[in-house]
Amino acid sequence: MATYKGIQGYTVQSLASDPSPLIGGQLWYNNSTGKFKVAEIGTGAWSSGTATPTALMNGGCAGTATAALTFGGRDPSPVAVTFEFDGSAWTSGGAYPLSLNRPGGWGTQTAALGAGGSPPYTDTSNTYNGSSWTAGPTINSARSAFQSFGTQTAAVMAGGTTGTRVSTVEEFNGTSWTTGTSMPAVKADGGGGGSSTAGLSFLGTYTPGAGGRTTASFAYNGSSWTATNSCNTARSGCGGGGTAPTTTMTYGGEPPGYFAGTEQFNGTSWTEVADLATGRQGVFVPLSQATQEAQLCIMGDTGTALTTVEEWSGSPVTAKNVTVS
């Protein structure tokens, strides 16, 4: 007969109080109330947001759902524009130093980091202070379309393409880029979420073409990678992000078609939730400071570039008593 430990890999903990933070799907016994409890993932929905001034796809992004920063992208040629969002309106910020497609982004609206991109593949990185960009140290391997997670001073750049897809990892400590532990698989055009010591790389392509898209998801602890349960639908060009694995979600991409699906990660597995109103790929690279309670799906394309923005409003993970009926 199967046991809970045999299925989940751990026993049910007996705790004097509910754990913090709550991880969706987590089960425990609260010995002060005499109740078994479970962390239940909240529901959520997408709604129409304020459109951007320019239609773009495949740019860099940083910040939160109410203080977002976008830079670069293309339609059809790469651009250097920067936009700032305050939760209700978009305004122009200081121009990015290069016109780039698929750069990576980390940090906040007033303390952001951008790096990489193409064409051609660049090794530049730049920091943003809320008004202008300043050149930073070069990365070790010029690339674009990598998975990014972390902050302005503790950033991870995983995989991507240098003309050929790679598995190599670089890490930024606020001063310099160093080589990290390579991912278990060659992968580009996926998403990332979490911190430099508790991060995720998910989805993307391992070979060119539709047949090379993957559902793979890998967790990073700052020194090694571990395969997690896979996403439900293989795709690339997705959006998403989060401050930690348990706050990470992903949406959009292709195929099938221009994908509208949304998935949330609870630290163990991915769950399908509400769809976008407009399926799309080439969504601006993940918001590193976003959560499962507040996200933005910014621009992208459905064959042509979009100005469309959708806002995710979700409820937090809550502790519920386990009942039998």
Judgement on whether residues 122 and 174 belong to the same structural domain of the protein? yes
Q: Looking at the domain assignment, is residue 320 inside a domain?
A: no
pTM over 0.85? The answer is: yes
Judgement on whether residues 236 and 307 belong to the same structural domain of the protein? yes
**Stronger pLDDT, 3 or 258, i.e. the higher one:** 258
Q: Looking at the domain assignment, is residue 321 inside a domain?
A: no
The answer to whether 100 and 72 are in contact (CB under 8 A) is: yes
Q: Looking at the domain assignment, is residue 246 inside a domain?
A: yes
Sign of torsion, CA 267 87 235 226? Answer: negative
Judgement on whether residues 108 and 240 belong to the same structural domain of the protein? yes
| Domain around 51 | 45-314
Answer yes or no: is pLDDT of 174 > 70: yes
**Stronger pLDDT, 201 or 290, i.e. the higher one:** 201
**pLDDT band of 318, cuts 50, 70, 90:** confident
Give the model's pLDDT for residue 7: 45
CB proximity list for 208: less than 8 A, separation 6 or greater = none
Q: Looking at the domain assignment, is residue 119 inside a domain?
A: yes
Q: What is the pLDDT of residues 84-130, one digit of tens each?
A: 999 999 999 999 999 999 999 999 999 999 999 999 999 999 999 99
| Token pair 């042509």 in the structure block, residue | 304
Judgement on whether residues 139 and 52 belong to the same structural domain of the protein? yes
Judgement on whether residues 17 and 58 belong to the same structural domain of the protein? no
> 61: part of which helix (H) or strand (E)?
strand 60-64
Q: What is the pLDDT of residues 191-205, one digit of tens each?
A: 999 999 999 999 999
CA 32 to chain centre: 38
Judgement on whether residues 125 and 33 belong to the same structural domain of the protein? no
Judgement on whether residues 88 and 111 belong to the same structural domain of the protein? yes
**pLDDT band of 23, cuts 50, 70, 90:** low
Q: To 5 degrees, how large is the angle CA 145–CA 213–CA 291?
A: 60
Q: What is the mean predicted confidence (pLDDT) over 171-187?
A: 97
Q: What is the pLDDT of residues 203-217, one digit of tens each?
A: 999 876 656 899 999
Give the model's pLDDT for residue 43: 75
Helix, strand, coil % (nearest 5) of the chain?
A: 5, 40, 55
- Percentage of the residues of the chain whose pLDDT score is greater than 70: 93
Q: Looking at the domain assignment, is residue 323 inside a domain?
A: no
Q: What is the pLDDT of residues 28-41, one digit of tens each?
A: 888 889 888 887 76
Q: Looking at the domain assignment, is residue 88 inside a domain?
A: yes
Judgement on whether residues 139 and 253 belong to the same structural domain of the protein? yes
**Number of structural domains found in the chain:** 2
CB proximity list for 318: less than 8 A, separation 6 or greater = 22, 39, 40, 42
Judgement on whether residues 17 and 64 belong to the same structural domain of the protein? no
Judgement on whether residues 36 and 83 belong to the same structural domain of the protein? no
Long-range contacts of 229-232 (CB under 8 A, 24+ apart): 229/268, 229/269, 229/270, 230/270, 231/202, 231/203, 231/263, 231/270, 232/261, 232/263, 232/270, 232/272
**Stronger pLDDT, 211 or 304, i.e. the higher one:** 304
Judgement on whether residues 36 and 91 belong to the same structural domain of the protein? no
Q: Looking at the domain assignment, is residue 305 inside a domain?
A: yes
CATH assignment at residue 138: 2.120.10.80
Distance CA(5)–CA(87), nearest Å, equals 44
Q: Looking at the domain assignment, is residue 325 inside a domain?
A: no
Judgement on whether residues 199 and 228 belong to the same structural domain of the protein? yes
Give the model's pLDDT for residue 204: 95
**pLDDT band of 285, cuts 50, 70, 90:** confident
